Amino acid sequence: MDRLPALQRPRPLEPGARVGLVAPAGPLRETTDLERAIENARSFGWQPVAGDHVLDRRAYLAGRDEDRLADLDRFARDDAIDGIWCIRGGYGAMRLLDALDYDAWRRHPKALIGYSDVTALHAAIGCRAGLVTYHGPTARAVLTPFSRDALMGAVTNSHACGGAPGATILRQGRARGRLVGGNLALVAALAGTPFALPLDGAILVLEDVNESVYRLDRMFTQLRLSGALRRVAGLAFGAFTDIPDNDVLEARPLAELLEEVADWCDVPCLANIPMGHIDDQWTIPLGATAVLDADARTLLIE
């Protein structure tokens, strides 16, 4: 199976790093979100710099596309900014992909941190700028000791991921490849676009929230029918949380669906790694080369 080369890592976020705070998707619910984001950045010894439009609101978006884009591009172009931390997810990052200044990310490689809807930015910047990005907590999150340690370890290149003793083995085996993925809804939505994730030889990590099992089934089936799952090297499922009650369709256990997907791919597979809309989550360096050992329940970064 072909192997995707590892991408360039951004410079570490050490104490004193200047970190831009952006809202590239959904609006902040209240100013305390921004205040918590600032305090979180300072708690790592970083100097937070809030984007000009982080408190904007336009229905379900954090302001106009051009303004959210302006904050991202401003920080991407500024070599005095060492990293960019997304304050929240929601929806809207996908609307910016065809206009992002990817050349700025190539000229000034820096950490991008976030998850959920930020998956769109991870996919596009990884592909277009050849840069490792960090699937980790948003800046407004209430960080547990586990998540704090995982985030700091990843962005300083000291440690990332590791053992997942609570994970479930769906298919045994060992796989090596580039880490790709994030939120399933975004991975599926990008299929068939110029920003679709390259999955050949990859270790695909996925999570989601607020989706019925039949909707998850539909998204997985879309990826299968597109051919995207044909040559993955390994699978690691995170948490699929807050699955709504379904009053119309007969319920199907999530575990049964994940086992079916693992059978489709016929590769080493774990479920329930610490990834997703959960308190204790890894910060995963997407684009880095990793080894998934399903038997040992580990995901180790090289």
Identify the CA nearest to 21 among candidates 56, 67, 63, 54: 54
User: Is 212 among the catalytic positions?
Assistant: no
Establish whether 277 is a catalytic residue.
yes
Q: What is the residue-level pLDDT of the chain in tens, covering all 302 positions? A: 445 666 899 999 999 999 999 999 999 988 899 999 999 999 999 999 999 999 999 999 999 999 999 999 999 999 999 999 999 999 999 999 999 999 999 999 999 999 999 999 999 999 999 999 999 999 999 999 999 999 999 999 999 999 999 999 999 999 999 999 999 999 999 999 999 999 999 999 999 999 999 999 999 999 999 999 999 999 999 999 999 876 555 678 999 999 999 999 999 999 999 999 999 999 999 999 999 999 999 999 99
Yes or no: say if 75 and 101 are a contact pair by the CB < 8 Å rule.
Answer: no
Catalytic residue among 122, 147, 207, 211: 207
Structural domains of the chain sorted by starting position, each given as residue range(s) with its CATH number in brackets? 18-155 (3.40.50.10740), 161-301 (3.50.30.60)
122 tagged catalytic: no
Residues 6+ apart with CB under 8 A from 225: none
C-beta neighbour count of 181 within 10 angstroms: 27
Catalytic residue among 53, 108, 122, 277: 277
